[in-house]
Amino acid sequence: MKTQISRCLLITAALLAIPAAVQAQPDAHYVPGVEGIECATLPPPGFYLRDYNVFYIGQKLNNATGHNIAPVGFEGEVYATVPRIIYISDFKVLGGYWGGDVVLPFIYSYYRAGYHGPSGSTTGMGDFYGETTLSWHPGKFDIGSAVGFWAPTGNSSGPPQTQPGDGFWTPELTLGVTYHIDEARTWAISALNRYEFNTEYRNTGVTPGQAWTLEWGLSKKIIKPVDVGVVGYYQQRTTASGNSPLAEAFFPYSRVAAVGPEVEWFYAPWKLFVQARYYYEFMAENRAQGHTMALVLTKAF
């Protein structure tokens, strides 16, 4: 009898977790795929305003073995516009330029759990992120590092609705390297690592496992203002979710991998960078699987 009750609780938790799975990264704050080519390169000293526009559509809901278990007619969508204020100073620490930035996303989420299942949508402010950065540019290399944190400023009310906030604090470490392959710097390869230390979820006693995200890019400058390239991401939870019998049901081990094209254009009169990229997720476990599209605008001042 106890075993049957436990199974029923786990099944119920899994169904309630569908809206969270649609958020594209159920146990990580960081959305993979937002940085693209030369993802580890921080800009030179100055002030910048960046706006990420990210659209995610999930067509599958995969189990732990990567098989689709979504009801017929399942659909999940997330759109986020994410302004980011960046400042890189002339002040150096350990030989690197000190800087910082802040992020506050605004998110629309929608899900439909099958043609005859429940559905829901949410529009609201997401979780705040702030970080301090150090960046170096020795020779053909660009090196970027950061220490930051996510704060649960967004509404994180539980299922059955979607939610713009995650409901827990997350310290985050960042380290990445870009290597310019040729002397003219027309070719570049880049990798960026982010590691998240999740804390307790909304005073429930449930702590999501830690998460690691890798973004990478290989690019070629074809003419002076235009770069094209191939980009990808990989994200996975690295430790167990603990402190509750239902922790693994709400925050299960998950991972995802994606690849796609990108083009970047720099319009010199406006000091404006425009990046457009698309990712196809070719592998996903315990989460939604689909497509990510991003349009990123960066204005230098």
Q: What are the pLDDT digits (tens) for 99-113?
A: 999 999 999 988 888
Percent of the chain residues past pLDDT 90, beyond the cut: 62
Higher pLDDT: 24 or 141? It is: 141
- Map out the domains of the chain as residue ranges: 2-300
- Label residue 250 by pLDDT band (50, 70, 90): low
In this prediction the pTM is 0.88
Higher pLDDT: 84 or 14? It is: 84
User: Domain 2-300, what architecture?
Assistant: Beta Barrel (2.40)
Higher pLDDT: 89 or 6? It is: 89
- Reading the block at residue 78, the tokens are 């997330």
Higher pLDDT: 172 or 5? It is: 172
pLDDT, tens digit, for every residue of 177-222? 999 999 989 999 999 999 999 998 877 778 888 999 999 999 999 9
- Reading the block at residue 116, the tokens are 């005859």
Give how far the C-alpha of residue 301 lies from the chain's centroid of Cα atoms, to the nearest Å: 26
Of 57-71, 88-102, 147-161, the one with minimum mean pLDDT is 147-161
Question: Up-side HSE of residue 259: CA atoms within 13 Å toward CB?
Answer: 5
pLDDT at 247: 61
pLDDT at 113: 81
Of 132-136, 236-240, 262-266, the one with minimum mean pLDDT is 236-240
Distance CA 295, CA 79 (A): 11
User: Would the pLDDT of 243 be above 80?
Assistant: no
pLDDT at 161: 54
The winner for highest mean pLDDT among 22-36, 106-120, 148-162, 166-180 is 166-180
Distance CA 184, CA 173 (A): 32
Distance CA 25, CA 160 (A): 17
At residue 160, the 3 state secondary structure works out as: coil
Across the range 3-27, mean pLDDT stands at: 43
Give how far the C-alpha of residue 252 lies from the chain's centroid of Cα atoms, to the nearest Å: 17
